[in-house]
Amino acid sequence: MGVDSTCRLIEGDCHNMPLEDASEDAAYAIYSLKYFPHLDGVMKEVSRVLKQGGRFLVYDLMKTEKYDKDNEEHVEIVEGLEYACGMPSLHTREGLVSAAER
């Protein structure tokens, strides 16, 4: 495919990645963070392996600022997603950003 020299697949645990400190330019998490009720360990490990100025891309389900916990329709939709995906309570955008900044 032509990406063999620039990409590699590594199997590991996101709480203990088999990578050197400050060894990666970028990392991403796609539809995965929602399965971790506590993000601090994951974010700390991502921070450890990223080089200074490295980028971390997150693409995931989350509750945005528009989510209203008192709106029955909002609660029903979110709880339906959580149940269907077998995941803990969705993180808020603020919670994800806060965990990444710690």
Boundaries of every domain in the chain: 24-101
DSSP bridge pairs for 57? 28
Confidence of residue 7 (pLDDT cuts 50, 70, 90): confident
Q: What is the structure's pLDDT at 2?
A: 76
Whole-prediction pTM: 0.81
Residue 5 confidence (pLDDT) above 90: no
Any idea of the CA torsion for 79, 89, 18, 16, to the nearest 10 degrees? -160
**Rounded-to-integer distance, Cα 45 and Cα 57, Å:** 14
The per-residue pLDDT for range 46-101, each reduced to its tens digit, is 999 999 999 999 999 999 999 999 999 999 999 999 999 999 999 999 999 999 88
